[in-house]
Amino acid sequence: MNRRDVLKLGTAAFAGGVTLSLLGPVAIADTVVQVAAAQRFKIGDIVVTALSDGHIMLDPALFSGITPDEFQAALRAAYLAPGSYRGSVNAFVVDTGSKVFLIDSGTGAALGPALGRLERNLIAAGYQPSAISALLTTHLHPDHIGGSHREGKPVFDKAEFLVSQADHGFWSDAGIRAKAPAEAQMFFDLAVTAVKAYGDRLRLVSGEAEAVAGITAVPLPGHTPGHTGYRVTSGKDTLLIWGDIIHAGPVQFARPDVTLSFDVDQPLAAKTRKAVLEQVARDRVMIAGAHIPFPGVGHVEAAGAGYRFVPAEWDYL
Ligand SMILES: [Zn+2]
């Protein structure tokens, strides 16, 4: 049967009242690629959309305070493949109804093809980059600001760029950079490039204070000097977007003492983690994490000597 015969058949079927698509071949889903990774949650009147940027492999050797065997046992207990831990990289849109904010911006081109998917998931969720009125950064690591610019030009062309004073001071300090190990120097360079891209739209925040209407900056220092969470409150609901309080969930919820080599101050990172876990478990506060399996939203409850994560259910809105 040639193309003309197919058309004739289609026309005949249509004339006979048979429902048959005349619009061309039926689309077959590409099941080899994942669907858009965006998921919404309602916090009072505010809509938060979790976005995935992709995943990052965390070598057990990066963690301190746990033996290799204990690390593998924790992965096995969570039904995960042995070896490195596959961490998510998540960011969060906060839509107040009148303004749209973005907490962190993924890796962009900084860390390879398993990442850098934030922008396409943002657009799939219905937001153009130009709709973002402020980019709120938890800290200036590449997996949180790499997607904020493309070759030094801002991706979010209408957005203010909010950074904690302490992180800005640390990562732009040429003296600290000079003393850092060679492999860490790219962190400083990326931070400076991202900050520069936003020029006079950079806004520094310090202490616990309202960052933008409806969102409070909460200092959570240790992972970096100015590591910051963002508390979203509306009506009776609260969500604490806590950035990098947890890197490897199957390990660190149960053992908050376990630290990561990327923590600028490991003892302070562990102390902050324990304090935050204790507070959100006690107060039943919903949290959202940058490296908790996508969408990275849920609750924390005390379990044994540590805690466990209870993922949030699908929100029907
Ligand atoms: Zn991170």
Task: Establish if 86 belongs to a structural domain.
Answer: yes
pLDDT tens-digit series, residues 267-294: 999 999 999 999 999 999 999 999 999 9
Mean per-residue pLDDT, 192-210: 97
- Cα(248) to ligand 1 centroid in Å equals 11
- Cα(245) to ligand 1 centroid in Å equals 9
- Cα(13) to ligand 1 centroid in Å equals 57
Task: Establish if 169 belongs to a structural domain.
Answer: yes
- Does residue 74 sit in helix, strand or coil? helix
- Cα(140) to ligand 1 centroid in Å equals 9
Task: Establish if 10 belongs to a structural domain.
Answer: no
Strands 237-241 and 286-288: parallel
- Cα(29) to ligand 1 centroid in Å equals 33
- Cα(150) to ligand 1 centroid in Å equals 19
- Cα(127) to ligand 1 centroid in Å equals 23
pLDDT tens-digit series, residues 95-118: 999 999 999 999 988 788 888 999
Residue span of the structural domain in which 141 resides: 37-311
> What is the overall mean pLDDT for the chain?
92
* Amino acid found at 233: T
- Cα(144) to ligand 1 centroid in Å equals 6
Task: Establish if 116 belongs to a structural domain.
Answer: yes
Task: Establish if 156 belongs to a structural domain.
Answer: yes
- Cα(178) to ligand 1 centroid in Å equals 23
Question: How crowded is residue 202: how many other Cβ atoms within 10 Å of its Cβ?
Answer: 15
- Cα(141) to ligand 1 centroid in Å equals 6
Whether residue 139 contacts residue 222, with contact meaning beta carbons closer than 8 Å, is answered with: no
pLDDT tens-digit series, residues 139-185: 999 999 999 999 999 999 999 999 999 999 999 999 999 999 988 89
pLDDT reading at 68 higher than 80: yes
> What CATH number does residue 91 fall under?
3.60.15.10
Task: Establish if 2 belongs to a structural domain.
Answer: no
Q: How confident is the model at residue 13 (pLDDT cuts 50, 70, 90)?
A: very low
Whether residue 137 contacts residue 145, with contact meaning beta carbons closer than 8 Å, is answered with: yes
State residue 295's pLDDT score: 98
Report if pTM > 0.85.
yes
Number of domains, the chain: 1
pLDDT tens-digit series, residues 223-273: 999 999 999 999 999 999 999 999 999 999 999 999 999 999 999 999 999
DSSP state of 67: -
- Cα(103) to ligand 1 centroid in Å equals 12
Task: Establish if 19 belongs to a structural domain.
Answer: no
- Cα(209) to ligand 1 centroid in Å equals 22
- Cα(26) to ligand 1 centroid in Å equals 42
- Cα(311) to ligand 1 centroid in Å equals 19
Task: Establish if 254 belongs to a structural domain.
Answer: yes
- Cα(19) to ligand 1 centroid in Å equals 52
E strands, the chain, are 38-43, 46-58, 63-64, 85-95, 100-103, 134-136, 149-150, 153-154, 160-164, 202-205, 209-212, 215-219, 228-234, 237-241, 259-260, 286-288, 297-303, 306-311
- Cα(4) to ligand 1 centroid in Å equals 57
